């Protein structure tokens, strides 16, 4: 008795067409979701701290090829040896992964974990092949690399959380600063609450702070009361309406307003100064 061969049902062309369309739509949606996820990482958090001598964020992202050479140089530097164990320490510079809130593949650092140790030879900068880390930014007039010219951010003190501002003696950030008495100073003031003690308040000099983050790592509070922020986040912006008339550099900042009338039109401004302090009172508004 011969066995009957069952034939597989033929899929109609119509059904095949709709199956293919559905399949392609599904792939398109999945691809869109993946691209959206990647795009979200294409721009780093505004709080991201870059290596020394990095270009402005927009230019940095255009120039950095995500090679990782800066991180390797940071890890393999001669000074990156733990004096107690004799073993190599983790690198300051990390290369961003998918879970980081930083553009994937780009270098950054987290001071609370590992700060920048301001190496004298600044090994991470000269190895950059695209000048995303601009060596001229850390080269002094003598043509030598100068760690004090680094500009990674600015340390900001939270005076509400800093225990030194409570009156409890603490100078951890001050002593951790590689530019002690320059970038961070202790300012003495009377403690009126006790009448006997003095405050030793840490204050940061924005002109000399490099943003290395050693102070942030050293802070003794549960969450650091001093933390490094990018300068564009930490500092205010006066705008082009205000200028230091005695500072030629600051006048360059408002050069885009050249040709515009910035004169104060006030009848009092046109008058000569009057020595009213010895006249028994202030001038009237109309005088």
- 3-class SS shares of the chain: helix, strand, coil, % to 5: 30, 10, 60
Do 143 and 124 share a structural domain?
yes
Place of tokens 């202030």: 282
Average pLDDT of the residues in 78-102: 92
Helix (H, G, I), strand (E, B) or coil at 175: helix
Cα 159 from Cα 176, distance rounded (Å): 18
Do 140 and 100 share a structural domain?
yes
Single out the residue of 157, 211, 212 nearest to residue 186, CA to CA: 157
In a domain, 56, yes or no: yes
- 1-51 tens-digit pLDDT: 555 555 555 556 767 766 776 677 666 666 555 545 554 555 679 999 999
In a domain, 219, yes or no: yes
The per-residue pLDDT for 84 is 87
In a domain, 275, yes or no: no
Residue percentage of the chain with pLDDT more than 90: 59
- 195-225 tens-digit pLDDT: 777 889 999 999 999 999 999 999 999 999 9
In a domain, 226, yes or no: yes
- 164-200 tens-digit pLDDT: 999 999 999 999 999 999 999 999 988 887 777 788 9
**CB half-sphere exposure, 270, CA atoms < 13 A:** 5
Which residues span the domain enclosing 125? 42-150
The per-residue pLDDT for 275 is 65
Question: Are 53 and 125 contacting, i.e. CB atoms less than 8 angstroms apart?
Answer: yes
pTM above the 0.75 mark? no
Cα 158 from Cα 178, distance rounded (Å): 20
Do 48 and 138 share a structural domain?
yes
* CATH number for the domain that contains residue 191: 3.30.70.3270
Cα 173 from Cα 113, distance rounded (Å): 15
Do 119 and 67 share a structural domain?
yes
Do 139 and 198 share a structural domain?
no
Residue 287's pLDDT band, with cuts at 50, 70 and 90, is very low
The per-residue pLDDT for 158 is 97
The per-residue pLDDT for 253 is 78
In the chain, how many domains are there?
2
**Averaged pLDDT of the chain:** 84
């Amino acid at each position: 008795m011969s066995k009957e061969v069952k034939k597989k049902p033929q899929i109609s062309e119509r059904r095949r067409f709709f199956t293919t369309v559905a399949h392609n739509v599904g792939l398109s949606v999945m691809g869109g979701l993946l691209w959206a996820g990647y795009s979200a990482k294409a721009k780093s958090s505004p709080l991201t701290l870059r290596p020394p001598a990095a270009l402005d964020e927009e230019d940095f992202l255009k120039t950095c090829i995500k090679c990782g050479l800066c991180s390797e140089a940071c890890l393999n530097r001669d000074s990156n040896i733990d004096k107690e164990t004799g073993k190599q320490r983790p690198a300051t510079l990390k290369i961003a992964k998918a879970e980081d809130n930083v553009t994937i593949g780009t270098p950054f650092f987290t001071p609370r974990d590992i700060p920048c140790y301001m190496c004298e030879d600044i090994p991470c900068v000269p190895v950059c092949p695209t000048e995303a880390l601009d060596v001229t930014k850390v080269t002094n007039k003598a043509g030598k690399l100068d760690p004090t010219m680094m500009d990674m951010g600015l340390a900001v003190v939270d005076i509400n959380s800093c225990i030194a501002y409570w009156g409890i003696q603490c100078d951890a950030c001050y002593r951790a600063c590689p530019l002690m008495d320059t970038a961070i100073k202790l300012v003495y003031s009377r403690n009126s609450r006790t009448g006997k003690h003095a405050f030793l308040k840490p204050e940061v000099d924005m002109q000399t702070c490099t943003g290395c983050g050693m102070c942030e790592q050293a802070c003794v509070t549960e969450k650091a009361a001093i933390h490094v922020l990018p300068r564009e986040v930490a500092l205010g912006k006066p705008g082009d309406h205000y200028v230091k008339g005695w500072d030629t550099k600051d006048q360059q900042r408002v050069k885009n307003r050249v040709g515009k009338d910035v004169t104060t039109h006030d009848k009092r401004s046109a008058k000569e100064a009057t020595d009213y302090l010895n006249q028994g009172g202030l001038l009237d508004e109309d005088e």
